[in-house]
Structure 1
Amino acid sequence: MVWQKAKEILRDELSESVYSLWIDPLECSGLQEDKISLCCPDRFFSAYVARNYLEIIQAKLSDVDPQRREVILTLGRGAAQAPAGGKSAQLRLPNVPRNSSSVRALHPRYTFAEFMVGESNILAQSACRSITLADDSIGPCLYINSSTGLGKSHLTHAVAHQILAEAPMTRLHYLTAQQFSYEMVNNIKANTMDSFKQKYHEQCDILLVEDVHSLTGKKKTQEELNELLDSLIKCGKRIVFTANRPPRDLIGIDEEFRSRMAAGLVTAIQPPDISTRTRIVKNKAQQHNLKLEEEHIDYLAQHIKGDIRQVESAIVGIRAKAHLQEGVVDMSLVEQVIAALVGLPKSLSPALIREFICKQYKVSCDELQSRSRKKALTFPRQVAMYLCRKHTENSLNEIGKEFNRDHSTVLHSIKVVTGLTNRNISVGEQINLLSKKLKTL
């Protein structure tokens, strides 16, 4: 038989202990023209063989049978229920560490398959994929920052899901910075810091720490994490941090610790664009078995722009209200839910734009409406008038009233700003940025 002949070759190629522990227990459970199935005692055994011996097994099978077959590792019946004292519990080389992962509760849907990729998050998603593949191209550690609800936790959960599924013997520690601090303090009080250090320094292959911004002012925890980082980086381990701002903007963080966190790839997740938000709405609606018309999907995507958790809240709210209306979803219902969730959409008006410009240029509304011709006031006033004309349907006279000016002054301001944007690149970029900000109000 093909497998028996391959095993004989493997016996000569490998040491006796390796062969008896990792090759001999494998049994051929199926042989087809294009593949051979080898049965493993349990999933940990399967993961270790896949990582360390699958290539040599494939090679020796090819030597026996030139018709190259794909090797499939399967689990034997009852493998998951194997008793602790049974055969599978003994199948461990002396130098193979026991799995000692500590992982916070993982959301079942926070996987790579459920993550909606767009321009705003593609680099972070790709980097997390690299972490699961032990690809060191991103550097010794990965740092992801974003505001709340944009997918940081989804990606770290996805990393944990992937690693535990494909390489369950990986010693993975996943916790928040506050949990790490709490655990460290308890070990200090119990005088058991040696076991704490052993757990993280010697029994850790990948470390995931969320919300490092919460370590502000916690000097002892920062020192301990910094020491741990140094140890893990030197050993080539994988590290992922998340926070609500980039390392350079963290407050009350030790400079050496800040520097180590930024030693690899630092990437931000931005709010998703309209196309990504549309796909998120469709995905969430499908998960909740809620049928939405295209106009409903467009409305949700247009009005929920920040925290994408609000999409799920909106879907749940629409479904609940529709249940009270015999399952009917109309635009009025969708608008009600959105109004309750994120408020009524603001329509841009000259008054709103005037207040916005005052905040951007740090001047008061009274100063902007005054007769002063100071440059520090004239330019913001002209920009405000230009943006009013661009983003509202108001007449020149109506715009002028907001600034105590007549229509001719508004027209002059529009010509001045238009000319500057055409001649001066920095002014043009400034006006474009202000326009973009206005659209998010």
Structure 2
Amino acid sequence: MLWNTIKTSLHNTLPENEFGLWIKPLECRRQDDQGIELIGPDRFFCAWVEDRYLDLIRTKAEELGMKIEVRLQVAESPPLQLDSARSGQLCLPGTTGGSRLRSLHPAFTFEQFMVGESNLLARSACKALATGDSTFGNCLFMNSSTGLGKSHLTQAVVHQVLRSAPSTRLHYLTAQQFSAEMVKGIRTNAMEQFSKKYVNGCDMLLVEDIHTLTGKNKTQEELNTILDYLIKSGRRVILTSALPANKLSGIDDDFRSRMTSGLVTGIESPDYATRARIIRHKLQLHGLKTDEDLVEYMAENLRGDIRRMESAIMGIKAKSCLHNAPPDLTMAKEVIFKLIGASSDITGESIRDLIGRQFKVSVDDLCSRSRKRSVTFPRQVAMYLTRKYTSHSLADIGNMYNRDHSTVLYAIKAITKDMSRQESVRKQVEMLSAKLNS
């Protein structure tokens, strides 16, 4: 078959990880003289392949002497049917058990998740729940702002469970889907079946975007009842939210208490070291050279939402292909400028990251009570630069390093004095200032 030949050629061209994620899952549904029709698992997957690989697929076909049209279609999901042998458990197409009301991204696995201080606890808890380890309990409430990895971790749990324990009766859906399903149950007088599915036919429940239930009292009440039974009976539960539970408005207090009865953890924006690892990993995934100057620049300027890193890397890859040249710092600056505008403002966090890298001191050390010169001097420089380049008050700066405002004031005076008396200190601070303003 032509598609198998094209796949073999693509396998020899693309990195193994990239081929496995985006080409291997494609299946040929139809082939004729006019072209071939490929199907992918969901709309996101097909849009990604169409945007980034369709031209390459057509080129490979032409190399085989076949100038044909290549079409991409989303696989039709068969209607979900009740499996009587599993007490009303919804069957996941392609497996022997479990349910999935949401499409799984093929790259959202534990292996593809970059671990750092900002997400270590969340990742560890999810991994434990996925493998049945009760170290972190059986209920997890996980919150973060958009693009920091909540969905990646929840889907990694589902991937792991389906791979290692496919007979697990698992339900994975958003809070909005749960609410819509419940409303349908009310309208069709099928609430008893709806409740039984989650109470009697569920070993593991994952519900995303709990914050969308604000003000939906009936849905909160129903989910609260289900959670109460599942948690007390030792079933595994993972809930995610864009906001911490204590900041959710329009949420019943009993429901809030139930959701947070187990481990509660947030995912923070990744620090510099984690951002650098993510960028290196994604560059390698796309077959791009991991030049350290490029990685450093991107890690310094792409903070917060990890999706922006992916977008920037795709832009750099496109420019690299267009100019038939390896990616460099100039390409990165052009792409990032279009993505986020001029370099982001200097922040206390960016200064702390820079100081940590330059002096080879961790953030934990800078915030510790250590009085070693190798720690106190970088800390004082960081405080001095933060006062100089940001609008933070002395108290704000002190909070960043677990100190009071008087300690910050002393540090600023000490560095100012050293700069006037020691040329080496002055040059060092000037060099750091230049890096911040570059």
TM-score range, shorter chain: 0.5 to 0.7
RMSD: 3.3
1:136 has 2:146 as partner:
no
Partner of 1:136: helix, strand, or coil? coil
Structure 1 partner of 2:285: 287
Tell me the CA shift for residue 324 of structure 1.
1.6
1:27-426 alignment runs, 5 A limit: 99-346=97-344, 390-392=387-389, 425-426=403-404
Tell me the CA shift for residue 331 of structure 1.
1.7
Tell me which stretches of 4 or more aligned residues in structure 1 moved more than 6 Å: 92-98, 386-389, 429-432
Structure 2 partner of 1:48: none
Partner of 2:135: helix, strand, or coil? helix
Tell me the CA shift for residue 348 of structure 1.
5.3
Tell me the CA shift for residue 148 of structure 1.
0.8
Q: Please say if residues 279 and 309 of structure 2, whose CA atoms lie closer than 8 Å, have aligned partners that are also in contact.
A: yes
CA offset digits 1:337-367 (Å, max 9, x no partner): 1111122114559xxxxxxxxxxxxxxxxxx
1:427 has 2:405 as partner:
yes
Partner of 1:224: helix, strand, or coil? helix
CA offset digits 1:314-349 (Å, max 9, x no partner): 010011122221234232211011111122114559
Which structure has the greater CA radius of gyration? 1
Mapped partners of 1:198, 1:93: distance in 2: 14
Q: Please say if residues 140 and 263 of structure 1, whose CA atoms lie closer than 8 Å, have aligned partners that are also in contact.
A: no
CA separation of 1:306/1:209 partners in 2, compared to 1, >3 Å: closer, same or farther? Answer: same
268-277 vs 98-107, which deviates more? 98-107
Partner of 2:239: helix, strand, or coil? strand
Uncovered stretches (5+) of structure 1, i.e. residues with no partner: 1-91, 350-385, 393-398, 403-413, 433-438
Tell me the CA shift for residue 428 of structure 1.
5.0
CA offset digits 1:226-245 (Å, max 9, x no partner): 01001111221000001112
Tell me the CA shift for residue 105 of structure 1.
0.8
Partner of 2:281: helix, strand, or coil? helix
Letter of the 2:279 counterpart:
V
Uncovered stretches (5+) of structure 2, i.e. residues with no partner: 1-83, 90-95, 348-382, 411-435
Q: Please say if residues 288 and 327 of structure 2, whose CA atoms lie closer than 8 Å, have aligned partners that are also in contact.
A: no
Mapped partners of 1:286, 1:315: distance in 2: 10
Mapped partners of 2:86, 2:180: distance in 1: 33
CA offset digits 1:125-172 (Å, max 9, x no partner): 110111012223323410111111111111000000000100000000
Partner of 1:138: helix, strand, or coil? coil
CA offset digits 1:11-68 (Å, max 9, x no partner): xxxxxxxxxxxxxxxxxxxxxxxxxxxxxxxxxxxxxxxxxxxxxxxxxxxxxxxxxx
Letter of the 1:289 counterpart:
G
CA separation of 1:214/1:389 partners in 2, compared to 1, >3 Å: closer, same or farther? Answer: closer
Partner of 2:243: helix, strand, or coil? coil
Letter of the 2:110 counterpart:
F
CA separation of 1:338/1:190 partners in 2, compared to 1, >3 Å: closer, same or farther? Answer: same
CA separation of 1:198/1:319 partners in 2, compared to 1, >3 Å: closer, same or farther? Answer: same
Letter of the 1:311 counterpart:
M
Report the count of equivalent residues: 283
Tell me the CA shift for residue 387 of structure 1.
6.7
Tell me the CA shift for residue 209 of structure 1.
0.4
CA separation of 1:428/1:141 partners in 2, compared to 1, >3 Å: closer, same or farther? Answer: farther
Q: Please say if residues 87 and 200 of structure 2, whose CA atoms lie closer than 8 Å, have aligned partners that are also in contact.
A: no
Partner of 1:319: helix, strand, or coil? helix
Q: Please say if residues 296 and 334 of structure 1, whose CA atoms lie closer than 8 Å, have aligned partners that are also in contact.
A: yes
Q: Please say if residues 87 and 197 of structure 2, whose CA atoms lie closer than 8 Å, have aligned partners that are also in contact.
A: no
Partner of 1:344: helix, strand, or coil? coil
Q: Please say if residues 101 and 170 of structure 1, whose CA atoms lie closer than 8 Å, have aligned partners that are also in contact.
A: no
Q: Please say if residues 139 and 263 of structure 1, whose CA atoms lie closer than 8 Å, have aligned partners that are also in contact.
A: no
Partner of 1:222: helix, strand, or coil? helix
Once the two structures are aligned, what percentage of the paired residues are identical? 49
Mapped partners of 2:212, 2:201: distance in 1: 25
Instruction: Provide TM-score, normalisation by structure 1.
Output: 0.59
Tell me the CA shift for residue 174 of structure 1.
0.2
